[in-house]
Amino acid sequence: MRGMRVFVVPAVLGLAVAASACSVSTTPGGESGGNGGNGDGTVTIGFSQATQQSPFYVQLREGAEQAAQDAGAELYFADAGGDVTKQNDDIQDLLTRQVDVLLINPVDPEGVRAGLAAAEAAGVPVVTVDRPVPEGAVSHVGRDNEEMGRLVGEQLAERLGDEGGVVIEIQGDAGGAVARDRSAGFHAAVEGDSRIEIVEGPYCDYIRSKAVTAMQDLIQTNPDVRAVYAHNDDMALGALQVLQENGRDDVLVAGVDGLMEAVDAIAADGPYTATALNDPISLGTTAVETALGAAGGEDVAEQVDAGTALIDTSNAADYTGDTVFAGARE
């Protein structure tokens, strides 16, 4: 396998070294049932992650690992690095470990069909997280990305006011359900307003550095821009960096995910105006809880919505803290 590191605790070092083809995080647990990939009755979860090239996905992994540890389960982790062929290989490797359940964040919902078919043949249930697949999973754990786009779109339109203007949209990944839904929700919120013109920018794969490069061109071709909406906060912050470097503090910026860096910027009452809550730690926790239910033969819900909320200048101060992403408030 390419580019994979091994993460272990000392109690299972021998197991990890023997199977070091996968990037692994393991947590020994109690006798909680399941087939047990290690043969001692511990429930084992295989987690195939699409990428680690975003703070959101790093935190999603950490949330899943902590939830598995808290439940006394064992979690094997593999990072596909954005390569769907590698992800299918990762899934095959996780299945050879005789995991009880697979947790998959797909690189490409269509391209991961081979891995899903292998899981079905092995009789291993699949739970998807963040990004759904058309079929092959017993449950999907995520958030309403269309609602996120709508919430941010409505707030941005309100801030633009009667003048309206050009809004640049920096997109996530081509063909991805998350990007599609965040775009659809945003468009639904603003397209009825004839004062607003949306300029669809390139796909930047949720990576800040790519958004920086894209924005350097977009600001030249759209000098009349009045706002930027990005499909996540990391890209929005990249766009904000370019705008500030060009003295364009008059341009509003909005994103999605509730990245604390963005929340702090909103609380400072600057050009960053809104984001939508998408705490990856709680998402990872809910995904593992759902996966454990599936492994135990429970009837898990086909769709598990982890919820969202708008964060803007009216409430950003309530969400600020020392975490990487903002969490839900009571």
Q: Report yes or no: 84 and 50 within 8 Å, Cβ to Cβ.
A: no
Let me know: does 46 contact 19? Beta carbons within 8 Å. no
Q: Write down the pLDDT at residue 191.
A: 85
What does the pLDDT average to over 138-164? 96
Tokens of 193: 């307003």
When the pLDDT of each residue in the chain is averaged and rounded to a whole number, the result is: 89
Rounded mean pLDDT of 97-110? 96
Task: Report the sign of the C-alpha dihedral through residues 203, 208, 211, 213, in that order.
Answer: negative
Residue whose structure tokens are 């006011």:
161
Starting from the edge strand earliest in sequence, which strands make up the sheet with 303-305, in order? 74-79, 44-49, 101-104, 126-129, 139-142, 303-305
Residue 204 has pLDDT above 90, yes or no: yes
Q: Each residue of 19-58: pLDDT tens digit? A: 333 444 443 333 333 444 455 679 999 999 999 988 999 9
Task: Please state which of the ranges 3-7, 82-86, 177-181 shows the lowest mean pLDDT.
Answer: 3-7
pLDDT tens string 257-269: 999 999 999 999 9
pLDDT value, residue 38:
54
- The pLDDT, as a whole number, for residue 67 is 98
Q: Is the pLDDT of residue 12 over 50?
A: no
257 DSSP 8-state letter: B
Cβ neighbours of residue 223 under 8 Å, at least 6 residues apart?
A: none
Asked whether residue 218 carries a pLDDT value surpassing 70, the answer given is yes
Q: Average of pLDDT values for 191-211?
A: 94
What percent of the chain lies above the pLDDT cut of 70? Answer: 88
Q: How far apart are CA 16 and CA 23, in angstroms?
A: 9
Nearest to 143 by CA among 263, 329, 277: 277
Identify the pLDDT of residue 328.
Answer: 81
Domains along the sequence of the chain with CATH: 10-143+280-299 (3.40.50.2300), 145-277+311-319 (3.40.50.2300)
pLDDT grade for 330, boundaries at 50, 70 and 90: low
Q: Is the pLDDT of residue 172 over 60?
A: yes
Task: Count Cα neighbours of 203 within 13 Å in the Cβ-side half-sphere.
Answer: 10
For residue 230, how many other CB atoms are within 10 A of its CB?
Answer: 33
DSSP assignment letter at 309: -
∠ Cα 19 32 115 (to 5°): 45
Q: How many CB atoms lie within 10 A of CB 13?
A: 12
| Alpha helices (H) along the chain | 13-18, 55-70, 84-96, 113-122, 145-160, 177-190, 208-221, 233-245, 260-267, 280-295, 316-319
- 175 pLDDT higher than 90: no
pLDDT score for 91: 98
Residue 39: predicted pLDDT? 59
Unique residue bearing structure tokens 């990939």: 37
Q: pTM of the entire structure?
A: 0.82
Longest CA–CA separation in the chain, Å: 66
Q: What are phi and psi of 143, to 5 degrees?
A: -130, 165
**The pLDDT of residue 27:** 39
- For CA atoms 105, 108, 110, 112, the dihedral sign is negative
